[in-house]
Structure 1
Amino acid sequence: MNKFWISILILIAIAAFVIYKITSKSSNKAKSFPSDWHQLLLKHVEFYEQLNAKAQKRFQHRIMIFLSEVYIESVSFQLEDLDRILVAASGVIPVFGFKNWRYSNLSTVILYPDHFNKNLVFDKTGEDKMVMGLVGTGRFEHQMILSRKALHNGFAKHNDRLNTGIHEFVHLIDKVDGVTDGVPERLLKQAYVIPWLKMVHKNMEAINDNKSDIRKYGGTNEAEFLATASEYFFENPKRMKRKHPDLYKMLSACFFPDKKN
């Protein structure tokens, strides 16, 4: 067999492998939604509690699809159903307005019992445990690391404008286009990019001048502004609509493009 045909066979083999990797993730069959999870969702996830019955069914289905595609593991503690529910809810909430969304850039979520340091080390005696969550890069690519304590606190305190799980999943959405830059190109129509960036910089300036009720961390950079503002949007939408009507309208267009405000 000459080199030409060998090259063709190699290309076919590579193409087949790539197609397999892409399709194998979506071919995992989602399990049935456990009936007792409904009450857990009602108790712990306000976003779910406010949905009508039909939308709740759709949310349940989306959770089970998420769990069929993303592996969740724990470090130094036994994983519980509520942990799985809150991780999945964190991923479903920001993309609930998109019928067929899949996190193609996520395979695993790792839960630490508490905050951890910048080197991803959890040490009960350490004093530098500042990190509540992050989207992995390098050897941790396609992974997310979350503090279990921060994850639960994000859903326990309603309307506090803080939700670590949602924050990190918004970073992941932002990263879909290859760069985490605060411009969610998969959500934002091209015509809105420049107005969005102008709005971001205006709000960041207000945050850094202590003239905004958006969390201080949102003034760090554009990516952190997007994630922090999104926490606010999902945790306390009524307040955001009142205090930041233009930002609320823009985020509504991003996360719920088919919904009239």
Structure 2
Amino acid sequence: MGLFIFFAMVAALCLAYYGYLRKSSWQSPDGYFPTKWRKILQEKVAFYNGLTAEEQEHFEWKVEEFILNHKITGVRVEIDKVDKLLVAASAVIPIFKFADWRYDNLFEVIIYPDHFDKNFATEGEGRNILGMVGTGYMEGKMILSKRALHDGFANEKDKRNTAIHEFVHLVDKMDGVIDGVPSMLLERQYTIPWIDLMKTKIKEIHERSSDINAYGGTNEAEFFAVASEHFFENPKSMQRKHPQLYALLEEIFEHDMAEREQVLRRMEIGRNAPCPCGSGQKYKRCCA
């Protein structure tokens, strides 16, 4: 036991020293965001399209900053610019409203072709993991499935995005523990209401009276990550069905996602098309 504690302390010191070196060598973007990269964001990241021009510029800066300062490595799969941009977008979305945020607890994102198991095997039985935040000797690393990474952005309304899920775990972990209570973002007066609401919502999942992904019933940490996926993927649905949950997540992330979705709808819907709210009227005479 004493030997284990010794090695754990050595590992912690090594990580702290490595973190210090990273901070001292942190790179900042030069202000030029390639047009090809911007086109990829426009085609694949709905969150980006719901931003103002000024906000899009900030999003691009944060995406490039992430790519400059974090390794993105493929294992048995090639990694291209689209993969890197989607990983970076997944990282930026949860912390977009926090201008100075850095993932100091992440050094590398490792990408596998598809499902993997706890030993990171991608062949054989028992493969059921699409993403995870590393611990122990894998501390400071995140592992993602390439297929899950792309699927998360291909379907914008399914309430699921594996990469965002894992980055929310990292946000949660910034206070030292992944427990579903993101102390770095959650103001003190909202902590108890948030904990109470999580318990209520997890109970609803266990009673099968909730449309929230059942995996969120595993524990508070998974509930926070699953609920955050829902918040960023289909905010209007959450606001309608879970108004209190939506309101508290809005406080945590300081972001009105339902309003962002309205911006996207106004961009996509013709004025004479049926209004998506289901009123039966033309869009121009209803929500427009």
**CA-CA distance at 1:31 after TM superposition:** 7.4
CA contact (8 A) 1:97 1:256 kept: yes
CA displacement, residues 61-107 of structure 1 (integer Å, 9 cap, x when unaligned): 00011111111000112111110010000000000010110001000
CA displacement, residues 114-144 of structure 1 (integer Å, 9 cap, x when unaligned): 0101222222xx1221000000001100000
Letter in 2 for 1:249: A
CA contact (8 A) 1:97 1:258 kept: no
Question: Alignment partner of 1:72: what SS?
Answer: strand
> What is the CA–CA distance in structure 2 between the aligned matches of 1:25 and 1:144, rounded to whole Å?
21
Give the corresponding residue for 1:139: 137
CA contact (8 A) 1:31 1:64 kept: no
Letter in 2 for 1:105: N
Letter in 1 for 2:125: E
Letter in 2 for 1:26: W
Give the corresponding residue for 1:9: none
Instruction: Please point out which of 217, 220, 234 is paired with 1:219.
Output: 217
Question: Alignment partner of 1:110: what SS?
Answer: strand
**CA-CA distance at 1:32 after TM superposition:** 3.4
Question: Alignment partner of 1:160: what SS?
Answer: coil
Instruction: Please point out which of 155, 161, 164 is paired with 2:162.
Output: 164
CA RMSD across the alignment: 2.1
**CA-CA distance at 1:22 after TM superposition:** 5.2
The change in CA–CA distance for 1:18 and 1:64 in structure 2 (over 3 A counts) is closer
Question: Alignment partner of 2:51: what SS?
Answer: coil
1:1-261 correspondence to structure 2 within 5 Å: 21=21, 23-27=23-27, 32-123=32-123, 126-256=124-254
Question: Alignment partner of 2:132: what SS?
Answer: strand
The runs of 4+ residues in structure 1 deviating greater than 6 Å are 257-261
> What is the CA–CA distance in structure 2 between the aligned matches of 1:218 and 1:19, rounded to whole Å?
31
Extract unaligned runs of 5+ from structure 2. Answer: 1-16, 260-288
Percent identity between matched residues is 48
Question: Alignment partner of 2:143: what SS?
Answer: strand
Question: Alignment partner of 1:26: what SS?
Answer: coil
TM-score (norm. length: structure 2) = 0.80
Question: Alignment partner of 2:32: what SS?
Answer: coil
Question: Alignment partner of 1:36: what SS?
Answer: helix
**CA-CA distance at 1:35 after TM superposition:** 1.1
CA displacement, residues 17-55 of structure 1 (integer Å, 9 cap, x when unaligned): 789525324246567322111111111111011112111
> What is the CA–CA distance in structure 1 between the aligned matches of 2:19 and 2:114, rounded to whole Å?
38
Question: Alignment partner of 2:58: what SS?
Answer: helix
> What is the CA–CA distance in structure 2 between the aligned matches of 1:169 and 1:101, rounded to whole Å?
13
> What is the CA–CA distance in structure 1 between the aligned matches of 2:82 and 2:244, rounded to whole Å?
35
> What is the CA–CA distance in structure 2 between the aligned matches of 1:30 and 1:89, rounded to whole Å?
18
Question: Alignment partner of 1:241: what SS?
Answer: helix
Letter in 2 for 1:117: D
Give the corresponding residue for 1:8: none
The change in CA–CA distance for 1:30 and 1:183 in structure 2 (over 3 A counts) is farther
CA contact (8 A) 1:240 1:248 kept: yes
The change in CA–CA distance for 1:119 and 1:104 in structure 2 (over 3 A counts) is same
Extract unaligned runs of 5+ from structure 1. Answer: 1-16
> What is the CA–CA distance in structure 2 between the aligned matches of 1:152 and 1:20, rounded to whole Å?
33
> What is the CA–CA distance in structure 2 between the aligned matches of 1:177 and 1:81, rounded to whole Å?
31
**CA-CA distance at 1:189 after TM superposition:** 0.8
CA contact (8 A) 1:30 1:64 kept: no
The change in CA–CA distance for 1:108 and 1:18 in structure 2 (over 3 A counts) is closer
